[in-house]
C-alpha cells in the first residue's frame, strides 16, 4: 500500500479519536461560558455572549459524531464517506471561525457593557430585591466592593439611607465590620467592575485558544482526506507512482 495512504490513514484515525475527545472538551468549554455568564447576567445587558457558547456546544456534539464517521470512512476508503467527512470538517471549521469571531467581538464590548449595567444594578440595591442578592453574591464571591471601588457606594440611595454605610457583603469579616468607610481595613477595596471584566475576558480568551487549537487539527484532517481521496482515485484509474 502507498506510504502516503498509510500515513494519511493513520493521521485520520488518530484525528477521529482526537475528535471524540475534542467534542467532550468543546461541550465543557461551552457549558463553562454559559455558567460564567449566568453568574453575572444581572450585570450584563448584552446577551450575545451566549452565541459563541451555543456554537461551541453544537460543534462539540458534531465533532463526536464526526469521529465515528471518520473511522468508518478511513477504514473502508469510501469515497462518499471521505467526501462527507471533508464536508463536515469544513462546516465545523466554519462554525469555529464564527465562534472565534463572536468571542473576539464581544471581548471588546465587555468593559463598555459592564460600566453602564453594573452602575444601574448597584443603584437599585435595597438589600432585598433580586438585584440586591446578585450584588451581595458578586461582592462576597469576588471580594470586591462597589462598581469602581468602595467609594462608588457614596452616590447610591442605599448609602445615604443607611447611616452612610456600605452593605455587609463588602466586609471581610462581618462580625467586626460596621460598613463605615472610615474602617477600610475591614472592607474589600477593589471595584467589582474590573474583577468581572477580568474574569469574563479570561473565559473568552480560554475559549478562543481551545477553538484555535481544534481548528488547526481540522486543517490536518482536511489535508489527510484530500491525500487519501487523490491516491485512491489514482489507484482505481490505473495510475501508479514511479520510483527511480
> CA distances (Å), 76 to each of 7, 17, 151, 225, in order?
15, 17, 69, 13
Q: What is the mean pLDDT of residues 16-39?
A: 78
Q: 147 with 118: CB under 8 angstroms?
A: yes
pLDDT digits (tens, 9 = 90+) for 110-127: 777 777 788 888 898 988
Is the pLDDT at 244 greater than 50? The verdict is no
* Residue 163 confidence (pLDDT): 86
Q: Which residues contact 86 (CB under 8 A, 6 or more apart)?
A: 222, 225, 226, 229
Mean pLDDT estimate for the chain: 78
Contact 123, 129 (CB under 8 A): no
More confident residue, 58 or 9: 58
pTM of the prediction? Answer: 0.65
Cβ atoms of 56 and 26 within 8 Å: the answer is: yes
Rounded percentage of the chain residues whose pLDDT exceeds 90: 2
What's the full length of the chain, in residues?
244
Each residue's pLDDT tens digit, 162-175: 888 899 889 887 77
Please tell me the predicted confidence (pLDDT) of residue 208: 84
Q: Read off the pLDDT of each residue in 139-163 and give the average, rounded to a whole number.
A: 89
User: Quick one: pLDDT at residue 153?
Assistant: 92
3-state secondary structure the chain: CCHHHHHHHHHHHHHHHHHHHHHHHHHHHHHHHHHHHHHCHHHCCCCCCHHHHHHHHHHHHHHHHHHHHHHHHHHHCCHHHHHHHHHHHHHHHHHHHHHHHHHHHHHCCHHHHHHHHHHHHHHCCCCCCHHHHHHHHHHHHHCCCCCCEHHHHHHCHHHHHCCCECCHHHECCCCCCCCECCCHHHECCECHHHHHHHHHHHHHHHHHHHHHHHHHHHHHHHHHHHHHHHHHHHHHCCCCCCCC
Which of 47, 147, 194 shows the shortest CA–CA distance to 106?
Answer: 47
Residue 187, strand partner residues: 171
pLDDT for 42 equals 65
Q: Cell numbers at residue 174, please? A: 462581618
Mean local confidence (pLDDT), 14-25: 78
Per-residue model confidence as pLDDT tens digits over 28-83: 888 887 777 776 766 665 556 677 778 778 878 877 777 777 777 667 666 777 77
Q: What is the pLDDT of residues 174-210, one digit of tens each?
A: 777 888 888 888 889 889 888 888 888 888 888 888 8
pLDDT at res. 100: 83
> How far apart, in whole angstroms, are the C-alpha atoms of residue 227 and residue 212?
23
Amino acid at each position: 500500500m502507498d506510504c502516503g495512504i498509510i500515513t494519511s490513514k493513520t493521521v485520520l484515525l488518530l484525528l477521529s479519536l482526537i475528535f471524540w475527545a475534542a467534542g467532550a472538551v468543546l461541550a465543557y468549554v461551552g457549558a463553562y461560558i454559559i455558567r460564567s455568564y449566568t453568574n453575572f447576567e444581572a450585570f450584563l445587558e448584552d446577551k450575545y455572549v451566549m452565541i459563541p457558547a451555543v456554537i461551541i456546544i453544537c460543534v462539540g456534539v458534531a465533532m463526536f459524531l464526526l469521529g465515528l464517521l471518520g473511522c468508518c470512512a478511513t477504514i473502508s476508503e469510501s469515497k462518499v464517506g471521505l467526501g462527507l467527512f471533508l464536508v463536515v470538517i469544513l462546516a465545523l471549521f466554519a462554525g469555529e471561525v464564527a465562534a472565534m469571531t463572536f468571542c473576539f467581538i464581544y471581548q471588546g464590548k465587555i468593559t463598555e457593557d459592564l460600566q453602564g449595567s453594573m452602575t444601574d444594578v448597584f443603584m437599585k440595591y435595597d438589600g432585598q430585591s433580586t438585584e440586591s442578592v446578585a450584588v451581595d453574591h458578586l461582592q462576597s464571591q469576588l471580594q470586591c466592593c462597589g462598581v469602581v471601588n468602595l467609594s462608588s457606594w457614596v452616590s447610591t440611595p442605599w448609602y445615604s439611607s443607611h447611616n452612610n454605610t456600605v452593605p455587609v457583603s463588602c466586609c471581610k469579616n462581618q462580625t467586626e465590620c460596621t460598613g463605615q468607610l472610615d474602617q477600610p481595613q475591614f472592607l474589600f477595596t477593589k471595584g467589582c467592575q474590573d474583577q468581572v471584566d477580568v474574569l469574563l475576558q479570561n473565559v473568552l480568551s480560554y475559549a478562543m485558544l481551545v477553538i484555535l487549537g481544534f481548528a488547526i487539527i481540522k486543517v490536518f484532517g482536511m489535508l489527510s482526506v484530500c491525500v487519501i481521496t487523490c491516491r485512491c482515485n489514482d489507484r482505481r484509474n490505473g495510475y501508479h507512482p514511479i520510483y527511480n
